[in-house]
Structure 1
Amino acid sequence: MGTIQTPPGTRDILPEEIGYWQYVENIATQILSRAMYQEIRPPIFEQTSLFERGIGEATDVVGKEMYTFTDRGDRSLTLRPEGTAGVVRAYLQNNLYAAGGVQRLWYCGPMFRYERPQAGRQRQFHQIGLELVGTGDPRGDVEAIALASNILKSLGLRSLKLDINSVGDRSDRQRYREALVEYFLPYKEELDPDSQDRLERNPLRILDSKNERTKEINQNAPNILQYLGDNSQIHFEQVQQLLGDLGIEYNINPCLVRGLDYYTHTAFEIISDDLGAQATVCGGGRYDGLVEELGGNSTPAVGWAIGMERLIILLKQLQSSPVRVPDIYLVSRGEAAEAQGLILAQKLRAEGLTVELDMSGSAFGKQFKRADRSGAIACLILGEEEAVNQTVQLKWLQTKEQQTMTQTELFNQVGELREQLGRHRKQ
């Protein structure tokens, strides 16, 4: 029998790549924490009805892409296809609204959609998301956009552009929906099959089609901005004014509608020119009706999600892998020396140093070769003689300088050792 492989659309994130992921997560944590956003971790699977009600049964996500199963208790459960519905469910179930004011929340983790796998798009994919729940103020929209921009720029991404649009409130969307159906009906046979299906269920999504002929037809479609009511128009103008105040450049894209039914008013995407067809790095918008749709009081909210896989592709194009290397590589040979080596490694780690302990038991020559390959600054050597005398040899791997000291001296001088390691690393 052959080895078992990962299912299609999934992949292992190997140690050689994980540094990118940790780098992104650390930057996001720092920036969101400074803005007083708190992390939340909802479960990976939820009741199927949460997504049917929250995302919308007419969407492609619910209709075609969800991983849904019946558990042993005959309950219909679904692996989460996105993060917002679960966060709102948690907000309601745990009475987070009882504190009053707004809830600033963020999450990070895997999502699941049955899509055609391609570069930057997997069936198990990962997102960092933000949800600002409890304010309808345009400042909330702009704070959310600004924080996403801060994260992406702090990661070193530059060739980005922000597209914004307003999809209005429910009454605006209904008027616009009717206008779209009227416009598209004469072209029905020319639309791609997905768009023909969407004409009855979700005509706004036709505007998001990647089919070339459908894109041509879309060029003369009604503009949603012409169907906004006064309140929606004022909100959108204020968002634009505030973005300008922050110096955030943007482009108004009337075809930007996002793929989920819960969006209202502001919709936005941050796009990279370096990703080809899968250009969107961050997408989000306002969803003022979702909390009420899921059983709560009318509560405005805004949020976004950053796709980690696409972000990692961009980071790999920008820089070499942020590989972690040890400060010290510790080699030992002989039963007593190997036991002392384990103790030394643990003590040095407790002092804040990064130590890799060779556990091969092979000859010193092979251990020294691995020490050189590790990228370590220094090597600690323990043999039978050192074990008897409670000493250790410290070898600087770049200069090949070597000195002998007692193990007690080593720990008494750990501060000086840390400074020496820093100087050698800069050389």
Structure 2
Amino acid sequence: MKILLLGLFFSFGTLLSYGDQGLEIPEYDGKDRVHTLTAKNYKSIMKSYDVMVIYYHRNVEGDRGAMKQLQIEELALELAAQVLDELEDEDIGFGLVDEKKATAVAKKLGLDEVESIYIFADNEIIEYDGELAADTLVEFLYDVIENPVEVIDNDRELKGFFNMDDVIRLVGYFKNERSPHFIEYDDAAEEFHPFVKFYATFDPKIAKKLKLKLNEVDFYEPFMEEPVTIPGKPYIESDIIEYIEQHERSTLRKLQPHSMYEIWEDDIDGEHIVAFAEEDDPDGFEFLEILKEVAQDNTDNPNLSIIWIDPDDFPLLVPYWEKTFGIDLSSPQIGVVDVADADSVWMDMDDQDDMPTSDELEQWIEDVLSGKIDPDDDDEEDEEDYDENDDDDDDEEDDEDDEEEDDDDDDDYDEDDDGDDEEDNEDDEEDDDEKDEDEDE
């Protein structure tokens, strides 16, 4: 199930009217920067940029609603292009490819999923699986143009590394940038860039604080207290890639605007365990801490993966979620969702003053994993109700048929009676006539 969301953070008028400089939200200046790519122009346009962002959209001819939607999406791309136009080090271009009018271009570039954004950079193709919002896309592109490996040189940068506990990250200690072991590490980083964060240090003091040995790499799963050292050093590129692919689905992972579709599509047997909690809210923070504790206790369970959604990150989706799932997101919630039809079952948390304990939450999750709690149960009940209704309808039809047969029998009986009455009347008339004749004689 692909979630539909367009969060556009742009303005059509000046939002700050106090004369202050440095806090003005960018306005679209009306200049066209997004190219319409065709078979004749796409090669020359793409060669003129270091990075090319292409939106492969469906054809909207004859559909007014779809045309307006595409205009909104194109405006988001225009604003992103305008903001990135100020970059000095990188030239980033934006283009549109129509699925119907530019099929040859799509085929040449390897675009296979309509309504997707593809980023061409350094001979790599990156599929963007986030919301089509100007600010989210710009932030993602900033990561794209950064080096695949970020070097930690001092304590401030080390503190920043430790504060990033909501994403997968790796860190390694190497002699220098020319080290063959670092080169293998850097090559592996390029394969996952910019989705997985790679860090490195060449400073023995920083390595000591990270508890790293030379040429060693640690893997940090989101929200886990301690990292795991990747076994088998010294590594080659494929060793690191294989380890990440085996551990990429975290026990607790946060739905991020820049990768929301990728995370949602990575379900387990067609279902997701989903937790809603506002990190800045006291109840939400408390519930999130309980979630982390449960995740840490069950990190070795390959069948457990909980998606944490902070409603503050997706304000436009809150009404949709509340209506679809029948829940109130002003307080923490956890449930299991069928990604195909959005059927869901939610943990009963009526007493909002007391959050469930980690044991209670863990028991509920075990019931989900064992199938005791299953959103598909509603479908089975609906089928049973449907079958019962069918049976009732059949019974009613049978009763109606019986009534019709009875009515037919009654009609036949009445017709016979009418026939007998007519015969009796005829006999009576004949008798009367004979009697009159006798009297006349």
TM over 0.5: no
Task: State the TM-score, normalized to the length of structure 1.
Answer: 0.23
Task: State the TM-score, normalized to the length of structure 2.
Answer: 0.22
Greater C-alpha Rg: 2
Structure ranking higher in strand proportion: 1
